Amino acid sequence: MTVSTPDLSRFRRAGAIAAATLAAVALGVVPGARAEAAAGTLPLGDSDLTEVRTDRALADGVTLTRIVRGTEPAPADQLNTTTRGPWVVNVLTIDPSQARGHLQATYGPNLSQVEKTTELVRASGALAGVNASFFTFTASQLYPGDPVGLGLFGGKLLSEPTTDPAEVNFVVDANSNRALTGKLTWSGSVRNRQTDATLPLEFINHPPVVPAGCAALADQTQCSLPGDVVDFTPEFASATPSGAGVEVVLDRLGCVVRTSTTRGTMLAAGQTSLQATGRDTVALLDVTGQGCVSSTSTLADQNGEELPVRPGLFGVTGRYPLTADGQVVVPDGSGSFFDRNPRTIAGTTRDGKIVLATIDGRQTTSVGTTMDETAAVAQALGMDDAINLDGGGSTAMSVEGALVNRPSGSTERAVGDALVYVDGPYRSGN
């Protein structure tokens, strides 16, 4: 389903076999929960595989379902090819018609750093949550948590969607628990109120790149090559990125507080800054040289209609849609990304339920899923519209402060942000 309107409004068999149940417990079924065996419920592997489900009510309208398909550990050299599994899937279902709480996204103390999903769930006072967006990770030692794509938190756009056609977004209104999937776009600019001089913004809260041909220039205003123009907010980090270039600090009214010919400063509450590199430094100094500036920042859906950013709106970044209007839409692809991996999925059912799921992978106890298999799982779980969130070693689901899945690495990975369910009404500033 595409993003269609600014207000989000369009948008067991009983009697488990004893041996299968014991095998499922060995693979991690939640003790004490109701277990059922079924064949062919998830379209994974051979049709004769035993499938055991355990359901657990976490709160009004919130259910955790654990699905174990297959009973024998996989040979270590057949994880990508076996048709016998096993697969371990954890599913968090939120029914807005019954739930007292709300779903939101959180990034922790600041946007640029990483924390484990369990830590983000605990710090939010949340009941449960999963990892969410793709993030910079090892590409940046200083800012590993920087989102690679949309980061929308409580009505604040802290990271813009990329132009990468693979990016797809999951947006939720915490006031109503209405959620949707779709590809968002963004545009931004600053305009001098006195002179009308205007400068397009290229990024929000991403370190600008100094043009390679001007890397040796301490004074970037002498550079003839295009650089970057970036808007920074206090949520990014304790200080803005340092380096060659120009930085202009603005107060909450858009008036210049100070200008520097190098980058890197601390921002007070209510302040923002504009950084530029390359020849864009001259344009930035021109736009901010007299009076105050007005900023524009516009999100639009894939139909080009504006999506108003208001309190309670959250959005995270995935790669590739899985289902749309009940149909599998995942594109063809090859390579490691499309092979079997741990996966995290976010989506909605036809009747408005929100579903978050993790699929463990790269292990003999759960082999993971290809992109095609992931889409088939999303469809089988009733997700009419679903996207693939960050997966691999990032895949994690935390319930009541503890992991309920088994990450593929030796320990839980720290991530950029998470989708978390808080069992109470949304209040701005949560």
Q: For 143-172, how does the pLDDT look when each residue is reduced to its tens digit (9 = 90+)?
A: 999 999 999 999 999 999 999 999 999 999
Same domain for 293 and 201, yes or no, is yes
| Residue 327 burial class via C-beta count within 10 angstroms: exposed 0-12, middle 13-18, buried 19 and up | exposed
Whether the predicted pLDDT of 270 surpasses 60: yes
- Neighbouring-strand partners of residue 161: none
25 within a domain of the structure (yes/no):
no
Residue 93 has pLDDT above 50, yes or no: yes
Place of tokens 């007005």: 294
Same domain, 202 and 276: yes
57 and 159, same domain (yes or no): yes
Q: What is the pTM of this model?
A: 0.90
Q: Given this model, what pLDDT does residue 428 score?
A: 80
> In whole numbers, what is the pLDDT of the chain averaged over residues?
91
Q: Within a domain: residue 69?
A: yes
- Domain assignment present for residue 32? The answer is no
What percent of the chain has a predicted confidence (pLDDT) above 90? 87
If asked whether residues 193 and 293 sit together in one domain, one would say yes
How far is Cα 418 from Cα 117, in angstroms, rounded to an integer? 6
Q: Is the pLDDT of residue 263 over 90?
A: yes
**What CA–CA distance (Å, rounded) separates 275 from 203?**
10
pLDDT computed for residue 429 by the predictor: 64
Our count of domains for the chain comes to: 2
Find, among 341, 377, 345, 343, the residue nearest to 362 by Cα: 341
CA nearest neighbour of 415 among 130, 104, 90, 93: 130
Q: Which of 270, 298, 326 is the last residue of a domain?
A: 298
Based on the fold, state whether residues 73 and 177 are members of the same structural domain.
yes
Alpha-carbon distance of 385 to 101, in angstroms, equals 22
Give the Cα-Cα-Cα angle 411, 414, 415 (nearest 5 degrees).
135
Of 253, 270, 298, the residue that ends a domain is 298
pLDDT on residue 290: 79
The answer to whether the beta carbons of residues 128 and 421 sit under 8 Å apart is yes
pLDDT tens-digit profile of 62-79?
Answer: 999 999 999 999 999 999
Q: Are residues 176 and 205 in the same domain?
A: no
Report pLDDT for 15: 30
- The answer on 239 and 152 residing in a single domain is no
Give the residue from 360, 417, 355, 422 showing the smallest Cα distance to 156.
417
Dmax (CA) for the chain in angstroms is: 78
Tens digits of residue pLDDT in 353-401: 999 999 999 999 999 999 999 999 999 999 999 999 999 999 999 999 9
Q: Please tell me the distance from the alpha carbon of residue 9 to that of residue 167, in angstroms, as a whole number.
A: 23
Which residue would you say has higher pLDDT here, 329 or 9?
Answer: 329
Residue with more model confidence, 1 or 242 = 242
Q: Could you count the other beta carbons within 10 Å of the beta carbon of residue 70?
A: 27
And the tokens for 134? Answer: 């793709």
Structure tokens at 263: 């980058």
Residue pLDDT, tens place only, 16-69: 323 333 333 334 433 333 334 344 489 999 999 999 999 999 999 999 999 999
Among 104, 116, 53, 133, smallest CA distance to 403 is for 116
Residues 326, 416, single domain; the answer is: yes
For residue 403, what are the β-bridge partners?
398
Q: 246 and 294: one domain?
A: yes
Q: Which of 411, 382, 392 is nearest to 134 (CA)?
A: 392
Measured between alpha carbons, how far is 116 from 401 in angstroms, rounded to an integer? Answer: 11
Please compute Rg for the chain using Cα positions: 23
CB 288 within 8 A of CB 282: no
Return the pLDDT at 48.
Answer: 94
- Residue 430 predicted with pLDDT over 70: no
Q: Do 197 and 171 share a structural domain? A: no
Average pLDDT over residues 233-244: 97
Where would I find the beta strands (DSSP E) of 265-411?
A: 272-278, 293-300, 313-319, 321-324, 327-328, 343-349, 354-359, 383-388, 397-399, 402-403
Domain end, chosen from 244, 267, 298, is at 298
How far is the C-alpha of 75 from the C-alpha of 323, rounded, in Å? 31
Q: CB burial class (10 A; 0-12, 13-18, 19+) of residue 240?
A: buried
Q: What is the DSSP letter of 210?
A: P
User: How far is Cα 63 from Cα 127, in angstroms, rounded to an integer?
Assistant: 11
Q: Got the DSSP string for 240-301?
A: PPPEEEEEEEE-TTSBEEEEEEEE-----TT-EEEEEEETHHHHHHHHHSSSBEEEEEEEE-
pLDDT at 361: 98
Cα distances (Å, whole numbers) of residue 110 to 71, 113, 143, 270, 318 = 43, 6, 10, 16, 20
Query: Cβ–Cβ contacts within 10 Å for residue 60, how many?
Result: 11
Q: Does residue 275 lie in a domain region?
A: yes
| DSSP H/E element including 56 | strand 50-59
In this structure, the answer to whether residues 68 and 161 fall within a common structural domain is yes
Over the stretch 305-326, which tens digit does the pLDDT of each residue have?
999 999 999 999 999 999 999 9
User: How many other CB atoms are there within 10 angstroms of residue 95's CB atom?
Assistant: 16
**Does residue 86 have a cis peptide bond before it, meaning omega lies within 30 degrees of 0?**
yes
Instruction: Check pLDDT > 50 for residue 7.
Output: no
pLDDT in tens, 105-132: 999 999 999 999 999 999 999 999 999 9
What local confidence, expressed as pLDDT, does residue 37 receive? Answer: 39
**Domain membership of residue 76 as a residue range:** 51-183+313-422
